[in-house]
Amino acid sequence: MGTAERDKVYVVQTVSRIVQRCLLMATDPGDLVLDPTCGSGTTAAVAEQWGRRWITVDTSRVALALARARVMGARYPYYLLADSPEGQQKEGEVTRTIPSSQPTYGKIRHGFVYERVPHITLKSIANNREIDIIWEKWQPNLEPIRKQINEALGKDWHEWQIPREYATEDLEEVRDVVEAVGFLHEWWKARVARQKEIDASIAAGADFEFLYDKPYDDKKKVRVAGPFTVESLSPHRTLGMDENDELVDPLQPRNGVGPKEGQDFVGMILENLQSAGVQQAHKEDRIVFTSGPTGWPGHYVCAEARYDESGLSKRAAIFIGPEFGTVSRPDLVAAAREAGDAGFDVLIACAFNYDAHSSEFDKLGRVPVLKARMNADLHMGDELKNTGKGNLFVIFGEPDIDVIYTADDEIQIKVKGVDVFDPKSGEVRSDGADGIACWFIDTDYNEESFFVRHAYFLGQNDPYKSLKTSLKAEINEEAWSTLNSDVSRPFNKPESGRIAVKVINHLGDEVMKVFRV
Ligand SMILES: C[S@@+](CC[C@H](N)C(=O)[O-])C[C@H]1O[C@@H](n2cnc3c(N)ncnc32)[C@H](O)[C@@H]1O
């Protein structure tokens, strides 16, 4: 058997059937499955389908992007949960017993309702008390027909002597036979029905084997993936030993391979910053440096640069976050303080990620703090030279959000837009909701992972049509219209006391803001 899928999205994609077989043999619904070599996410997709929780890991961003799209875009069958009213109903039907009336909690750990095959043994036939009852029940149907057959053909057949078919070459007998064949047909129909009822009774009373790969499903329901998060951790930088037992720093070039002589991560970022400038939602708001960036010996501020604002030259301090990891609000505050003390007009921070609390921090005293998100392509370092410099540094401001408390003591969120920095005037202004592609709410944020509990998709590029295409299904327009909105559906106050709102623009940049409610 081959181990590669035919319609592949990944060159080394594993056949789902193989993963499925292993997973069904080794786990139960609700178990946790770990695949440390995610690839296109076959294990995650199969686990999602079969109600197993999953964690998957890969070193490649391409693999993770493929896996995320694969799990999110798929439709899964809706299997009947044993711990549900429909499940109890089905179980009753299959075992020919009165459905359980125990309260149900929808716990997946109780498994699904599965098809099963009986083990028919002599014991299961001999001990079955229903057979006699069924037999008696059918006698009043069968006996009169047997009599009619015997009368038509002048026989004295017992039940076990009645043939399936009867023919004659005697011309005188033909009329009786034609009549008798009709009776024969009728008798066998009833006889087979009686046997089926007896067989079903034996099967229901016999021991059986569950077919764990054949749960009953509700064909009228479509299931999509449950919530999951994609996390990236700062990989630990490993140090190696060379042939002389000396520590090897991977950042130092060896035999001409590695970063340029004297150029570290920060040097590479500054070089790209100089040629790419800082992009914002609108092209005209791009910050183009008139000089620099050149090195500046601060503790946080590592470079300075100049750009023009309304004809005046502004002096910007540059702070660069770690190569792997997230910039937190205290880092930004310290960098802004250093910039302010040194007389800079503005702080431009560049980082791959900012923590949630950074989004609210946009000014320290007179010094505006611009947070530019660095494109992950910058990880490619020198390779980038061949691929053009699109949006390498993008400022995506704080979302402009209203928290509305309803009369029923519920909460609604309205997103009004995203703040943008106008480099020409130095002002921060609110951009309308047009710049937002979609926005999500975690209505009970645990300060660790953002769970999308509400999702809203705003106007551009007909998201309704895209969703219809990827789900391959008709979507209830009324339900959809509640998702195509800049105002959320009302929800209860969170137990954690916190909610988080994530806003994503059309370039895929995202910003998250946490609210205490
Ligand atoms: C053969 S593929 C897995 C294919 C996957 N089963 C599927 O169906 O698509 C192996 C994957 O492991 C990843 N990988 C290689 N070394 C790794 C490591 N040290 N840690 C995590 N993932 C790694 C590769 O990037 C590649 O995506």
Predicted pLDDT at 22: 97
d(CA 349, CA 370): 6
Q: How confident is the model at residue 353 (pLDDT cuts 50, 70, 90)?
A: confident
Ligand 1 midpoint to CA 39 (Å): 5
**Ligand 1 neighbour 58 (Cβ under 6 A):** yes
Predicted pLDDT at 259: 44
In this structure, which residue's CA is closest to atom 19 in ligand 1?
A: 59
- The whole-model pTM stands at 0.53
**Ligand 1 neighbour 60 (Cβ under 6 A):** yes
Ligand 1 midpoint to CA 448 (Å): 26
Greater pLDDT, 417 or 104: 104
Ligand 1 midpoint to CA 58 (Å): 6
pLDDT in tens, 97-109: 899 999 999 999 9
**Ligand 1 neighbour 57 (Cβ under 6 A):** yes
**Ligand 1 neighbour 40 (Cβ under 6 A):** yes
Q: How confident is the model at residue 358 (pLDDT cuts 50, 70, 90)?
A: confident
The single residue listed with the structure tokens 């009822």 is 197
Rg (CA), the chain: 36
Angle of the 42-49 helix axis to the 16-26 helix axis, nearest 10: 50
d(CA 359, CA 362): 7
Q: How confident is the model at residue 237 (pLDDT cuts 50, 70, 90)?
A: very low
pLDDT at 5 over 60: yes
Name residues whose C-beta falls within 8 Å of residue 99's C-beta, 6 or more positions apart in sequence.
88, 89, 91, 92, 93
Predicted pLDDT at 313: 86
According to the per-residue pLDDT averaged within each range, which of 118-127, 170-179, 464-473 is highest? 118-127
Ligand 1 atom closest to the Cα of residue 35 is 6
pLDDT in tens, 146-173: 999 999 888 999 999 999 888 777 777 7
CA distance readout (Å), 104 to 28, 108, 110, 210, 469? 19, 11, 10, 21, 35
pLDDT at 407 over 80: yes
Q: How confident is the model at residue 379 (pLDDT cuts 50, 70, 90)?
A: low
pLDDT at 387 over 70: no
Range from 39-43, 117-121, 458-462 carrying the lowest mean pLDDT? 458-462
Ligand 1 midpoint to CA 62 (Å): 11
Per-residue pLDDT, averaged over 48-63, amounts to 92
CB 427 within 8 A of CB 363: no
Predicted pLDDT at 337: 92
Predicted pLDDT at 193: 96
Distance of CA 390 to the CA centre of its chain: 29
Greater pLDDT, 395 or 182: 182
In this structure, which residue's CA is closest to atom 5 in ligand 1?
A: 39
In this structure, which residue's CA is closest to atom 25 in ligand 1?
A: 60
Predicted pLDDT at 244: 57
Range from 9-13, 298-302, 503-507 carrying the lowest mean pLDDT? 503-507
Predicted pLDDT at 380: 60
Per-residue pLDDT, averaged over 387-395, amounts to 60
CATH of the domain spanning 251-395: 3.40.1350
In this structure, which residue's CA is closest to atom 18 in ligand 1?
A: 59
Predicted pLDDT at 254: 43
Greater pLDDT, 337 or 1: 337
**Ligand 1 neighbour 398 (Cβ under 6 A):** no
Per-residue pLDDT, averaged over 180-203, amounts to 93
pLDDT at 47 over 90: yes
pLDDT at 504 over 60: yes
Predicted pLDDT at 392: 67
**Ligand 1 neighbour 20 (Cβ under 6 A):** no
Predicted pLDDT at 187: 94
Predicted pLDDT at 360: 75
Secondary structure E strands in 205-290: 207-215, 217-223, 240-241, 247-248
Q: What percent of the chain has pLDDT over 90?
A: 38
Predicted pLDDT at 480: 78
Range from 30-44, 375-389, 498-512 carrying the lowest mean pLDDT? 375-389
Contacts made by residues 82-88, CB under 8 angstroms, sequence distance 24+: 82/110, 82/111, 82/112, 82/113, 83/107, 83/108, 83/109, 83/110, 86/218, 87/112, 87/113
Predicted pLDDT at 359: 73
Ligand 1 midpoint to CA 386 (Å): 27
Predicted pLDDT at 460: 63
Per-residue pLDDT, averaged over 261-278, amounts to 74
Ligand 1 atom closest to the Cα of residue 10 is 9
Q: How confident is the model at residue 483 (pLDDT cuts 50, 70, 90)?
A: confident
Ligand 1 midpoint to CA 185 (Å): 64
**Ligand 1 neighbour 391 (Cβ under 6 A):** no
pLDDT at 391 over 70: no
CB 348 within 8 A of CB 339: no
pLDDT at 410 over 90: yes
Predicted pLDDT at 146: 95
In this structure, which residue's CA is closest to atom 1 in ligand 1?
A: 12
Predicted pLDDT at 263: 56
Return mean pLDDT, the chain: 83
Predicted pLDDT at 257: 39
Predicted pLDDT at 234: 39
Ligand 1 midpoint to CA 20 (Å): 18
In this structure, which residue's CA is closest to atom 13 in ligand 1?
A: 37
Name residues whose C-beta falls within 8 Å of residue 132's C-beta, 6 or more positions apart in sequence.
none
Ligand 1 midpoint to CA 207 (Å): 43
Ligand 1 midpoint to CA 17 (Å): 18
Ligand 1 midpoint to CA 230 (Å): 16
Range from 59-63, 95-99, 102-106, 431-435 carrying the lowest mean pLDDT? 431-435
CB 380 within 8 A of CB 402: no
According to the per-residue pLDDT averaged within each range, which of 78-82, 412-416, 421-425, 454-458 is highest? 78-82
Best of 8, 10, 37, 70 to mutate for ligand 1, by most ligand atoms within 8 A of CB? 37
Per-residue pLDDT, averaged over 49-63, amounts to 91
Ligand 1 atom closest to the Cα of residue 66 is 9
pLDDT at 299 over 60: yes
Ligand 1 atom closest to the Cα of residue 16 is 8
Per-residue pLDDT, averaged over 448-459, amounts to 83
Per-residue pLDDT, averaged over 491-496, amounts to 91
